[in-house]
Amino acid sequence: MNEPYQPLRQMNTIEILKQAISLYRQNFLKLLGVILPGIPVVIFCILILSLILNEFFVTILSAPMPKAGEMPKGDVYKKIVPIMMLIFFLMYFFSTIVAAAGTIVISEFFLGREIKIADAYRKIWKRIFPLLGAIILTSVITGLITILGMFLCIIPGIIGWVYLSAWFGFIAQIVMLEGEGGMGAMKCSRTLIKEDSRKSLIVIGSVMAVTLIAWIFLIVGNVMATQFNMVILTPIGNLLSISALILIEPIKFTAITLLYYDLRIRREGFDLKILEEELSAEI
């Protein structure tokens, strides 16, 4: 057995982000390996969204833009909401599943133990139903509010996405360590966030902001490809989006897991002994 990574302790915002980056650099291949099973989901979502965006931009560039708060007309818009909801669910499913596996791997780091990625996913399987229940509820709520905000105006959609992502940011950690699921996991996440809502919004908002880079590559590539008839920019944008999501996701779930530890330490004196007990508990 290896020595524990280091004792769990309270950290400020900068320390959480710095330690997340440090863990990512020291365990790059291991944390990247956590993402690998979900890569087909990312590729599928990016390709489908790219096709929809291409059709969307062709439509809006050839017709007057609707007023703010007004639902656009046309067949293309009727396709957008259900397809975006499906993509949102799949991406949320991807992020939560890999965060659950990442939580197990990171927890084993702190306990000074090694775990195979396949074994981390086997642990998820034992709690798959509570995890799926939480994923469905949170993805529907977050997805609907985000898409509605995007239609009203871009900024409210982004704000809603970040805010609700913070509220439900600990779903994976709570299911895997505390055994809660569905509404219980959502309630626990909101309660924990309230321990230090400012720090939580900064940490989660920071990693979500970095995630936006992937979507910016996708949107810019499609806009320029449509506007200037440069077809090559679409696959380039898709490739950059997929690469960015794959490289960013481990930092995201690592930072959120460290924030989760920090808030539980402040609330209940969470330590390595409790972590080990919860990690080995069965549902």
From first to last of its 283 residues, the chain has per-residue pLDDT tens of 455 556 778 888 899 999 999 999 998 999 998 988 888 888 887 777 777 766 666 565 555 555 554 545 445 556 666 777 777 778 778 888 999 999 999 999 888 888 899 998 988 888 888 888 888 888 777 777 776 666 666 666 667 667 777 778 888 899 888 888 778 888 888 888 888 888 888 888 888 877 777 777 777 766 676 666 666 666 777 787 788 888 888 999 999 999 999 999 988 888 888 888 888 875 5
248 occurs within a structural domain: yes
pLDDT at 275: 87
Q: Number of folded domains in the chain?
A: 1
pTM, whole model, 2 decimals? 0.82
282 falls within a domain: no
Separation of alpha carbons 254 and 25, rounded Å: 11
Q: Which domain holds residue 204?
A: 13-64+72-268
- Give the count of beta carbons closer than 10 Å to the beta carbon of residue 118: 10
Query: Is 277 a member of any domain?
Result: no
pLDDT at 131: 85
For residue 278, tell me if it sits in a domain: no
> Is residue 1 included in any domain, yes or no?
no
Residue 191 Cα to chain centre, angstroms: 19
**What pLDDT sits at residue 78?**
62
Q: What is the pLDDT of residue 258?
A: 94
CA dist 183 and 130 (Å) reads 10
List Cβ neighbours of 254 (8 Å cut-off, separation of 6 or more): 20, 23, 24, 31, 102, 106
The pLDDT value given to residue 87: 76
Indicate whether 3 belongs to any domain: no
**Is residue 260 domain-resident?**
yes
Does the residue 169 lie in any domain?
A: yes
**Integer Cα distance of 10 and 92 in angstroms:** 28
